[in-house]
Structure 1
Amino acid sequence: MARMLYSASMSIDGFIAGPGGDMSWLTPYLGPNPTMDDVAARTRALLVGRRTFGGDDPYRDLPGEGEAFGGGWSGPQFVLTHHPPADPVPGVTFVTDLHTAVTRAREAAGDGYVNVLGGDVARQCLDADLLDEVLVCVVPVLLGDGVRLFDHPGGRTVRLEPVGVSEAPPATNLWLRVVR
């Protein structure tokens, strides 16, 4: 069965996007990352939040703009949204319910990964006990404000155990498993 993996790049102070979802902060830090290349190769489906799907792109004006992992991945995408667009988007399925979205993404992924993109969807998966692993690429920058990796005031404590740590200068990759 497919495993649910949330992957994100994060500033040292815990932000995955700047104010208003700005992703331009990440552009100077894009570069080779063997861990992320491995994740992209093992990912068989994406579960994406609506704001992430329609949001800012760190690859803007670069090759791979508008494509998952900067063009390093292709396959089925499932976008969780309360307001699906009227016109279809090739290769993208819009789903209005978390459990249906996860089920469909897992079916599409087979024995690979479903890579969760978007902090709010990742938090929903975590709250529903559907998230298996977290991969954070920690980037040496302080943003000061923006969208947090997991923002859930009053939320519960979730234990994580290390799976691995790797360097892809300038980032440090932290791979963690959700302890159940």
Structure 2
Amino acid sequence: MSRLLYSATMSLDGYIAGPGGDMSWLTEHFGPNPVVDTLISTIGSLLVGRRSFGGDDPHRGTPQEGEPFGGGWSGPQFVLTHHAPDTPVPGITFVTDLDSAVSAAKAAAGDKYVNVIGANVAQQCLDAGVLDEILVFVAPVLLGDGVRLFDRPGGANIKLETLTQTNAPHATGIWLRVVK
């Protein structure tokens, strides 16, 4: 049975993107990371938020632009949106509601992970009780503003259990399970 995993790299002050969704800050924190290398082989599908799908790309201007994990992964992608484009995008399925998106992504993933990309869709999954795990890499930088990993003003306390912690040259990884 597939599980939903939200994975992201964030700044020490909790931002996954800078102001306006700018991801360019992330490029200097790319580098060898055995956890990411292993993770990629365990992903069966992606569940992507619309802003992430159409947003800034840390690989902009390179051959890896627009490719999941910089071209390190390929497979079925499901974009959660209220406004699907008029022209189909090869390899991308646009879904209008969370339940349908999660079901389709899980079916496509088989026994592998559905990797959630995007703070808003991850928050929706958490609120719906369908997010199983979180893998966050903390990069040694303070962005000061932007898109938070999770933004829940007035939200309830969500209990997490640490599964593993790792150190890589460019970021420290924390893998957590959402306690349900």
Asked if these proteins are the same fold (TM beyond 0.5), I'd say: yes
Match of 1:24 in 2: 24
Matches within 5 A, 1:21-170: 21-170=21-170
- The list of structure 1 runs, each at least 4 consecutive aligned residues, that deviate by more than 3 angstroms after superposition, is none
Q: Distance in 2 between matches of 1:7 and 1:48?
A: 11
How far does residue 49 in structure 1 lie from its aligned partner after superposition?
0.1
Match of 2:12 in 1: 12
Q: Distance in 2 between matches of 1:141 and 1:112?
A: 32
Q: Higher mean Cα deviation, 59-68 or 69-78?
A: 59-68
Deviations 1:66-120 (A, max 9, x none): 1000000000000000100011000000000000000000000000000000000
How far does residue 61 in structure 1 lie from its aligned partner after superposition?
2.1
Aligned residues: 180
The answer to whether the Cα contact below 8 Å between 2:30 and 2:170 also exists between their aligned partners in 1 is no
How far does residue 37 in structure 1 lie from its aligned partner after superposition?
1.3
What secondary structure is seen at the aligned counterpart in 2 of 1:39?
helix
Q: Distance in 2 between matches of 1:82 and 1:154?
A: 26
- Unmatched tracts of structure 1, length 5 or more: none
Task: Find out whether 1:174 has 2:170 as its counterpart.
Answer: no
Q: Which amino acid aligns with 1:8?
A: A
What secondary structure is seen at the aligned counterpart in 2 of 1:93?
strand
Q: Distance in 2 between matches of 1:111 and 1:140?
A: 34
TM-score (norm 2): 0.98
Q: Which amino acid aligns with 1:29?
A: H
Q: Higher mean Cα deviation, 23-32 or 131-140?
A: 23-32
What secondary structure is seen at the aligned counterpart in 2 of 1:125?
helix
What secondary structure is seen at the aligned counterpart in 2 of 1:65?
coil
Aligned CA-pair RMSD: 0.7
Q: Which amino acid aligns with 2:119?
A: G
TM-score (norm 1): 0.98
